[in-house]
Amino acid sequence: MSVTDTHRTIDAVWRIESARLIAGLARMLRDVGLAEELAQDALVVALEQWPQTGVPDNPGAWLMTTAKHRAIDRLRRSKLLERKHLELMHELEAEQEQQVSVVEAALDDHIGDDLLRLMFTACHPVLPIDARVALTLRLLGGLTTGEIARAFLVPEPTIAQRIVRAKRSLTKAQVPFEVPRGEELAARLSSVLGVIYLIFNEGYSATAGDDWMRPALCEEALRLGRVLAGLVPQEAEVLGLVALMEIQASRTRARTGPGGEPVLLLEQNRAHWDRLLIGRGLAALERAEKLGGTLGPYALQAAIAACHARALTAEATDWPRIAALYATLAQLAPSPVIELNRAVALSMAFGPAAGLELVDTLLDEPALANYHLLPTVRGDLLARLDRLDEARTEFERAATLTQNLRERELLLERARTCAAAAADKS
């Protein structure tokens, strides 16, 4: 195997093993920052040695053993945590006496709990949301600082600072490396789900930049969601979020044209929707519903997405049911954004005037003051009502509010279409 091939293999191994490696080290050291640093040290050693010695049969166990050696050296040099030093020494000596297969089995005994602990730690509410996102992608996604910065169009030093500050904050707050229990679990799980969903949404509809979508972020969020669902299979909202992301991700190929331009939902070629992802999403939603109880916000959104997925054509969409689901969602989790989505559903089910009536009640909402989708939706409804000059004004205003180049171009094109249609009428 060439050096280049070895480096590619190491990169693949790191993507697969880094989260469990960091999680295992964090369980022993109770310090996420130190765990990541030691995992990176092990990666450096692999980059130095494997091109000469070859990739070991069990690269994950090799990296863990190497990282533990580094941990022992670090503790010995710092003369801290003598008890932990001895525990690690004894653990390492015991592992070295066993066969690799036994080591791997020992690691697997903890892996589920360790990954879950790492998720709850990286998404801890003590951190601001942008720090939770960056730390989650770094620790659980194995993304480099540069990859995270490019994904969110943020300077690399900014992301690096967020990650450093996040790890310091966790240490300063003495956040325990554990899965919360009782009443705290629901609140903390909500934070984890919120981070995963934010990552997915940024990939699905990029806030800024030249690209309408960033599929790699969608894929990473889906991976994290699937891992979480495997770790807590009895949590309906986890299954609901996974169902929502699976179904939304099924539209990826249909959401952009040949030049990368956006293709809106009702105009998409549904033959390009991924039926495998839809099937997985519907199955996850069914499992969430079978758990019983009231569906939460993510499961309700998944049920809405399922209505679209089940419709083979745009005309076959069950808009009255979607409007009813949005009404339920608005009662459960009141939000002006949900009301805006409900207005769209009402317009499709009962005509644009019904939708516009609701939209106009949202015009003074402070949360929507600079939200480009409010004038976008209002422009669409006005155009359907043949109020073309007003629609053009709304599309132009929406174009000034969005930071996404592709979306701005689409909105300006819709404004020009309204202007041309108005001119033809006069």
Mean pLDDT of 396-421: 96
Q: Is 281:308 a contact under the CB 8 Å cutoff?
A: no
Phi-psi region of 143 (alpha: psi -120 to 50; beta: other; left: phi over 0): beta
- Average pLDDT estimate for 209-225: 89
The owner of tokens 């080591």 is: 103
Neighbours of 5 (CB within 10 A): 11
Averaged pLDDT, 152-162: 91
Averaged pLDDT, 26-54: 89
Instruction: Say whether 384 sits in a helix, a strand or coil.
Output: helix
Residue 186: pLDDT band with limits 50, 70, 90: confident
Return d(Cα 124, Cα 120) in angstroms, integer: 6
Question: pTM for this structure?
Answer: 0.82
**Model pLDDT, residue 99:** 40
Structure tokens at 396: 């132009």
Question: pLDDT tens across 56-68, in order?
Answer: 988 888 998 999 8
pLDDT at 108: 40
pLDDT at 20: 87
Is pLDDT of 3 > 80?
no
pLDDT of residue 96: 54
Question: Residue 154: what pLDDT?
Answer: 87
For the ranges 170-179, 248-257, 332-341, 399-408, which has the lowest average pLDDT? 170-179
| Residue 295 or 110, more confident | 295
**Mean pLDDT across the chain, nearest whole number?**
89
Q: Are 89 and 83 in contact (CB under 8 A)?
A: no
H or E stretch covering 104? helix 100-122
Strand (E) positions, 171-218? 208-209
Q: What is the pLDDT of residue 406?
A: 93
Residue-level pLDDT at 83: 59
User: pLDDT band at 184, cuts 50/70/90?
Assistant: confident
Residue 94's pLDDT band, with cuts at 50, 70 and 90, is: low
